Amino acid sequence: MREKSRGSLSRCPSRQQVPSVLGRSSMALQGVRVLEFAGLAPGPLCGMILADFGAQVMRVDRLGPATPTWMARGKRSLALDLKRPEGAAVIRRISRQMDVLAEPFRSGVMEKFGLGPEILRKDNPRLIYARLSGFGQTGRLSKVAGHDINFLALSGVLSKLGRSSETPYAPLNLLADFGGGSLTCALGIVLALYERTQSGKGQVIDANMVEGAAYLSSFLWQSQNAGLWSQPRGKNMLDSGAPFYETYRTSDGKFMAVGAIEPQFYALLINGLGLNCDELPDQLSISDWEEMKKKFAEKFAKKTQAEWCKIFDGTDACVTPVVNLEEAALNEHNQERGSFITDEDHNVSPRPAPLLSRTPAVPSTKRNPLKGEHTEEILQEFGFSKEEINQLYLDKIIEPSKLKANL
């Protein structure tokens, strides 16, 4: 998303500024070397998280025409043909000096290249070999293709999502791809890095989106007997059944989000709506929720979003405006915190989270790497001679960087 002229977003200190801004501190993952194999979405976010917190992430791209990539800030790109033994041999040699390898393929693909964990971890016992898949490295589905919605479906979580009048609804590709996939894989890598400081050994991480999404939803599983989910989907308190945990349209076609769960906050909501608790059914009277929703909807439809904000802002009524991405970046609270940053192309994106007090992430503000932009640089860094690199060109294992081609 590009920065609008209105409001000034905080500029994230660039890496060059870090010493002056943060004194002598370095980022938490400074010096960790990661080889990320290019994937669709879960792998790239996992790699971006590591890069944001200081890791040196090198992405292994396929040869051929560039395809759109996202979440590549702070990474470098090495493009080579893994299907050729000479290409796989390059990766095997580089992996000897790697801390982490992260691959986003179906189970068995890396083994086809002769780059499975048994081989690479024998070469480099300190290597942390992270495998981010959909269904995991074993099991009847381990070699089956799939996307977020499939993994969310098989985790059981999708069956609980969506309004009662509709089919189950996957919230974009956030829960399985990114929450259950990228984040749990990044957590696994950090856990393995920490453990390696004690044992001196790496290990294999089987991160997968079915189990990651299920794990993320542990509350759902562990609260089944708490009466929170006794109604059909879309009729419970937190799944759009309750009037006090819902979104409502305002007179100007925007929306307000209401999350007034506790009685003391619910009382403030009722007051802000100009209603009287004494004239209403009990807050937790499920049979009255449908009617209450209609009453709340009528009320919210009478004022604009800005007018409701004047009534509820700063109160404990748990009522907030539903803002779009641009508004979120310009929101005063978010601006006070510097929650969103802009890169040198004026693209706006969320600041890395969480915020570490002494060694915060300092994401790169530079553009994403072009496919193969750093192939030669990386090969030289890992000891390949000019002659070896030239031979790789001749054998079409690597190809000239698009940047050079554009010059």
Ligand X SMILES: C[C@H](CCC[C@H](C)C(=O)SCCNC(=O)CCNC(=O)[C@H](O)C(C)(C)COP(=O)(O)OP(=O)(O)OC[C@H]1O[C@@H](n2cnc3c(N)ncnc32)[C@H](O)[C@@H]1OP(=O)(O)O)[C@H]1CC[C@H]2[C@@H]3[C@H](O)C[C@@H]4C[C@H](O)CC[C@]4(C)[C@H]3C[C@H](O)[C@]12C
Q: Closest approach of Cβ 261 to ligand X, in Å?
A: 32
Residue 372, interface with ligand X (CB under 6 A)? no
Among 148, 239, 246, 343, binds ligand X (CB under 6 A): 148
CA distance 318 to 290: 20
Per CB under 6 A, contacts with ligand X among 28-47 are 37, 39-42
Sign of the CA dihedral with 289 first, then 292, 293, and 296 last: negative
Nearer to ligand X, 82 or 362 (CB): 82
Residue 396, interface with ligand X (CB under 6 A)? no
| Catalytic residue selected from 147, 206, 288, 313 | 147
Terminal alpha carbon distance of the chain: 27
| Catalytic residue selected from 61, 148, 177, 343 | 177
Stretch of 46-54, 80-88, 216-224, 320-328 contacting ligand X, by CB under 6 A: 80-88
CB-CB contact of 19 with 25 (8 Å): no
Pairing mode of beta strands 348-350, 340-342: antiparallel
Q: Closest approach of Cβ 158 to ligand X, in Å?
A: 13
Q: How many residues does the chain have?
A: 407
Residue 133, interface with ligand X (CB under 6 A)? yes
Question: Does the active-site annotation cover 374?
Answer: no
Nearer to ligand X, 1 or 277 (CB): 1
Q: Closest approach of Cβ 107 to ligand X, in Å?
A: 8
Report how far Cα 100 is from the mean position of its chain's Cα atoms. Answer: 19
Per CB under 6 A, contacts with ligand X among 152-191 are 173, 177
Question: Does the active-site annotation cover 52?
Answer: no
CB-CB contact of 132 with 181 (8 Å): yes
Among 23, 68, 200, 253, binds ligand X (CB under 6 A): 68
Residue 81, interface with ligand X (CB under 6 A)? yes
Q: Closest approach of Cβ 147 to ligand X, in Å?
A: 3
* 114-129 burial code (b ≥16 CB/10 A, e <16): ebbbebbbeebebbbb
Residues with Cβ within 8 Å of 168's Cβ and at least 6 positions away in sequence, in order, are 153, 158, 159, 160, 161, 162, 233
Among 9, 34, 71, 82, binds ligand X (CB under 6 A): 82
Per the rule left: phi > 0, alpha: psi between -120 and 50, beta: everything else, 349 is beta
- Render 42-98 in DSSP notation, one character per residue: HHHHHHHHHHHTT-EEEEEEPSSS-----S-TTEEEEE--TTSHHHHHHHHHHHTT-
Residue 352, interface with ligand X (CB under 6 A)? no
Stretch of 6-14, 139-147, 211-219, 329-337 contacting ligand X, by CB under 6 A: 139-147
CA distance 374 to 71: 17
**Active site residue ranges:** 147, 177
What residues make contact with ligand X under the rule CB under 6 A? 37, 39-42, 60, 62, 67-68, 81-83, 104-106, 109, 133-134, 145-148, 173, 177
